[in-house]
Amino acid sequence: MEIEKLKETARALLADGKGLLAMDESTGTANKRFAPLGIAQTEEMRRAYRDLIVTAPGLGNSISGAILYDETVRQKTRDGRPFVDALIQAGIVPGVKVDAGAKDMAAHPGEKITEGLDGLRERLTEYAGLGLRFAKWRAVITIGDGIPSDGCIAANADALARYAALCQESGLVPIVEPEVLMDGDHTLERCAEMTERVLNVVFETLKRQRVALEGMILKPNMLLPGLQCPVQNSVEEVAGATVTCFLRTVPAAVPGIAFLSGGQESELASARLNAMNVRFRGRMPWALTFSFSRAIQQPALELWRGDDKNVEAAQKALLHRAKCNSAARRGEYNG
């Protein structure tokens, strides 16, 4: 394993004042986001949308890395450059989602297990050859009546750790994403208890599978009350609970934490990240940044609506959210 190369990639992804842009929606998810806006669900429209994102002028000033989906890795911009090359030219490190999605877990009603380990070594070798420098794998944990179960947490942690070890073998930095969903009516306290339990098992398993913590990035959920919980906590309470949980569970050897947005409203996601970076400045051993998809893209997608004449307005909205989150990463966001 070339640990120095992994550390260098992680450093680039965690560069000061920058964060990651997740644009790795699978075909199914991209189509699901297009449908309510009346955007045609075709390969060309997905390409055109990704073109708009990657060619947004100055995106590299706030975005350090972009996570692609396999289809996009093989597509080109309107002016004929492979998306991977266009990102590199924009000063953005290209990466790719390599899991095959979360499927219903046998004997575990209401729970999911992420698939995609078979043939992963060969796929990673191909991606490394195409110029990709990091990868992402998302595990999904649901809070509900009697769940998550130990079986679901252990199986997902195992898959994350085996994926991470394979990535490092191929010279790719693994983004390890155990997402505790915000669906449900659970409280912030229950989310905190479950996220702490999940992260403890994930790090135990990563160490058992000999993953170099220095050469990975954690992509967790923020600690939030369920969307249907009658008590919605303040930005300060969310920030306090989230960093307190990480200080207990995430080893200092991990260079950075980059949040998913998970369906939070865009401004709230920025405000919460900002509050953490203000309140815990100088007291966190890792960089604390973003790896948002919806919280960066959604306003732009709603403006674009699949129409060429809206590209400029959509790019402006995208750059605005990217800049807001870049400010939040520095603790300098003020709405």
Q: Can you tell me the distance from the alpha carbon of 221 to that of 259, in angstroms, rounded to the nearest whole number? A: 6
Q: Can you tell me the distance from the alpha carbon of 327 to that of 20, in angstroms, rounded to the nearest whole number? A: 13
Residue nearer to ligand 13P on the CB measure, 22 or 86:
22
177 is catalytic: yes
Residue nearer to ligand 13P on the CB measure, 268 or 307:
268
Helix pair 266-279, 294-304: axis angle to 10 deg: 150
Q: Give yes or no for residue 33 binding ligand 13P (CB under 6 A).
A: no
What is the nearest approach in angstroms of ligand 13P to the Cβ of residue 263?
6
Residue nearer to ligand 13P on the CB measure, 87 or 283:
87
Residue nearer to ligand 13P on the CB measure, 100 or 253:
100
Q: Are 282 and 245 in contact (CB under 8 A)?
A: no
Q: Give yes or no for residue 98 binding ligand 13P (CB under 6 A).
A: no
Residue nearer to ligand 13P on the CB measure, 109 or 288:
288
Q: Give yes or no for residue 292 binding ligand 13P (CB under 6 A).
A: yes
148 upstream amide cis, omega within 30 of 0: yes
Q: Residues 10, 22, 105, 318: which binds ligand 13P (CB under 6 A)?
A: 22
Q: Are 176 and 206 in contact (CB under 8 A)?
A: yes
User: Which residue among the candidates 97, 112, 219, 323 is catalytic per the annotation?
Assistant: 219
Q: Residues 112, 138, 186, 321: which binds ligand 13P (CB under 6 A)?
A: 138
User: Which residue among the candidates 112, 177, 179, 323 is catalytic per the annotation?
Assistant: 177
Q: Can you tell me the distance from the alpha carbon of 116 to that of 235, in angstroms, rounded to the nearest whole number? A: 36
What is the nearest approach in angstroms of ligand 13P to the Cβ of residue 293?
3
Count the neighbouring beta carbons within 10 Å of the beta carbon of residue 172: 26
What is the nearest approach in angstroms of ligand 13P to the Cβ of residue 113?
15
Q: Can you tell me the distance from the alpha carbon of 26 to that of 32, in angstroms, rounded to the nearest whole number? A: 10
Q: Residues 18, 294, 321, 329: which binds ligand 13P (CB under 6 A)?
A: 294
Q: Give yes or no for residue 295 binding ligand 13P (CB under 6 A).
A: yes
- Encoding tokens for residue 217? 């990035």
Q: Can you tell me the distance from the alpha carbon of 133 to that of 223, in angstroms, rounded to the nearest whole number? A: 29
What is the nearest approach in angstroms of ligand 13P to the Cβ of residue 270?
12
Ramachandran angles phi, psi of 68, nearest 5°: -100, 170
Residue nearer to ligand 13P on the CB measure, 4 or 157:
157
- Number of residues forming the site for ligand 13P (CB under 6 A): 11
Q: Give yes or no for residue 72 binding ligand 13P (CB under 6 A).
A: no
Q: Can you tell me the distance from the alpha carbon of 74 to that of 84, in angstroms, rounded to the nearest whole number? A: 9
302 is catalytic: no
82 upstream amide cis, omega within 30 of 0: no
List binders of ligand 13P among 233-262 (CB under 6 A).
Answer: 260-262
List binders of ligand 13P among 155-184 (CB under 6 A).
Answer: 177
Q: Dihedral angle at the C-alpha atoms of 259, 260, 262, 264, nearest 10 degrees?
A: 50
The dihedral built from the CA positions of residue 277, 282, 283 and 285, taken in this order, carries a sign that is positive
- Chain residues that interact with ligand 13P, rule: CB under 6 A: 22, 24, 138, 177, 260-262, 292-295
Catalytic residues: 177, 219
